[in-house]
Amino acid sequence: MIKFEHTIFALPFAYIGMVLAWAQSGMLATPIDWGRLFWQFVWITGAMASARTAAMAFNRAIDAEIDARNPRTASRPIQTGKISKNAVWLAGVISLGVFLFAAWMLNTFVLMLAPLAMIGLVGYAYTKRFTWLCHLWLGIVDGAAAAGAWAAVTASLSHPIPWLLWAAVAVWIAGFDLIYACQDVEVDRREGLYSIPARFGIPAALRLAQAFHVLTVLLLAAVGLVAGLGWLYWLGLIIVAGLLIYEHSLVKPDDLSKVDIAFFTMNGYISIITLLAVMGGLWM
């Protein structure tokens, strides 16, 4: 029900927040406390994976009846009876417990922020019922992974880098969620759900997605400037920009047959390449 690629979008950006926080706080200077870095990596990974599992579980359970009436989602495990809705609710609750435990193991600052993250995780499924800004809600919640990882290392959000990262991930995810939502325009209108494609049409949604992804590149460039990253980062950012251009070339208002390639494949590459670019930029 929850695929690995559902996590691969935001997890590399959490690691970006983590390694940039290590660098900016001097934790990568000799001598390196490898034990401390290892456990921060473990609990950040645990927090990220459990948060993603909780978000997906609650979204699947809350939208179970709507998904059953959508031809694209009618064959999912809840709809076919392979997994009970109660089991999915239980998985979501357990995942939130793991998330809180991971936050507690990191520091008091992120533990205090954890309830806000939980509201965002659970609330996304309901936003489609009252606002077409649901895509931005999703982006903001997922983008919090990068800022949260920074806070997990530094116990602070006073530096501009986590905010730039948060904004970059937010508009990136909102942009490709707009592309994905184009598949469900008729269903959303029939069910009375809100989305930008259903409200303004597919061509407008795709143009807005393009604008969001231009902003993504600009915000990532700002991250590179503020962090003082080397030339390998800028090479990686050029590749990311090229992949975003290619992603948009795959989807046309009258041809959505390649949405899965644009959504899963391209964005998985983008997140991993960005992580490698940051690490290379730090190394240089």
Residue whose entry in the numeric block shows the structure tokens 């996590």: 7
Pick one of 1.10.540.10, 2.120.10.30, 1.10.357.140, 3.40.1260.10 as the CATH number of 4-283: 1.10.357.140
Mean pLDDT of 199-223: 97
User: Are 165 and 13 spatial neighbours (Cβ–Cβ below 8 Å)?
Assistant: yes
Decide if pLDDT at 280 tops 80: yes
Decide if pLDDT at 55 tops 90: yes
Cβ contacts of 25 within 8 Å, gap of 6 or more = 153, 154
What number of CA atoms fall less than 13 Å from residue 15's CA on the CB side?
20
Number of other CB atoms surrounding residue 130 within 10 Å: 10
pLDDT at position 5, please?
67
pLDDT at position 264, please?
72
Mean pLDDT of 33-44: 96
> What length is written for the chain?
284
Percent of residues, the chain, with pLDDT higher than 70: 99
Decide if pLDDT at 181 tops 70: yes
Mean pLDDT of 66-88: 92
Mean pLDDT of 135-151: 95
pLDDT at position 60, please?
93
Decide if pLDDT at 278 tops 70: yes
Mean pLDDT of 221-229: 97
pLDDT at position 150, please?
97
Decide if pLDDT at 132 tops 80: yes
Per domain, the residue ranges of the chain are 4-283
Output the pTM of the full model.
0.93
Decide if pLDDT at 206 tops 90: yes
Mean pLDDT of 65-75: 91
Decide if pLDDT at 246 tops 70: yes
DSSP summary character for residue 194: -
Among the listed residues 94, 162, 186, 170, the one whose alpha carbon sits nearest the alpha carbon of residue 134: 170
Integer Cα distance of 121 and 54 in angstroms? 7
